[in-house]
Each structure stands twice: as C-alpha cells, then as structure tokens.
Amino acid sequence: MRQIERLIDAVLGRASGSAHDAPDVAAHPLYRELIDGVGTTPVARLAIGRAWILVRSATNAGLAFAPRWPAGVSPARLERLDGVMLRDLAILALRRDELAAAIGIAAINAHYNRPDLLGGDDDGLSSGSAADVATDPTGGPTVVIDAPKSA
C-alpha cells in the first residue's frame, strides 16, 4: 500500500510520508459488504484524470467520479501497479480522503463489472411499478455506487 500512498501524495502535491487518514469507522455497511466480495485479482493500471478514475485488471475495468481538485493540481496520471490487488484498492473506499475513496470505489466497480456476474435482461430504466420490482426476483432498481461525501 505504500505505492498507493506515495501516488496519492504525488497527485495531491503533499510531502511524501505525510499522515494519511484512517478508515472511516462510520462508513456505510454497504461499502464494507461490497469490499468483502472483492477478490485478489491483480490490478494492471490506475488512471487518474480530471473527471474520472479508472482501475483496470487484466479482464475488467471500473470507473469512479474524481473528486474536486485543489487549485494547481494537475491529476493526469497513468500508473502501472505491480503486486497490488483489487481488494487492496477497494479498502480505500472507507477512507475520508476523497481521492483515496474514489480509487477504492473504482476498484469495487472493477470487481463487480464482470461478464460472469448475471443480471436481468432489462435495462433497469424501463417503466414499472414498485410492486413489479418487489414481486420479480430477477428485477430490481438501478444502483450507482459513489464515494461517500466528506464531512
């Protein structure tokens, strides 16, 4: 994880080795449950851009919206992460630091964005009543996972 901490420091222009925030103990249980499901797939690339963060493994990719950047920060980075697993990055979703949390959310999305995970055939946007969703075990609401807001 030192590699990731150094990368976050470099992107934000902080002195290397600066204190990093601890996990948010009040994080929503949904994040913890999602992280528990993330495996040890190696991360191939991490791209940090002005609007999006991309985490890519050999077979999957996940996006998360990038935080607002402080004035003077130019975040365009493409990093190869040797020995880092999706689960290592996913745990960052519990951090209070917005950049770390966004990287974690992108890793979670990379894990769950897989062709072997089955879902319904509908687009999730079709009109239907709440009763239809409640009685149809294959259907459900559309869900978007986003990084928690800083307090």
pLDDT in tens, 4-15: 888 888 888 777
Mean pLDDT taken over the chain = 79
Contact in structure between 9 and 100 (CB atoms under 8 Å)? no
Distance CA 68, CA 150 (A): 12
In this prediction the pTM is: 0.73
Contact in structure between 53 and 102 (CB atoms under 8 Å)? yes
Indicate if the pLDDT at residue 107 is higher than 90: yes
Indicate if the pLDDT at residue 124 is higher than 60: no
Helix axes 98-112, 2-12, angle to 10 degrees: 130
Of the two residues 36 and 115, the one the predictor is more confident about is 36
Of the two residues 21 and 140, the one the predictor is more confident about is 21
Distance CA 42, CA 91 (A): 14
Q: Kindly report the CATH number that applies to the domain delimited by 2-116+123-135.
A: 3.30.390
pLDDT tens for each residue of 29-69: 888 999 999 999 999 999 999 899 999 998 899 999 998 88
Segment among 35-44, 68-77, 115-124 with least mean pLDDT = 115-124
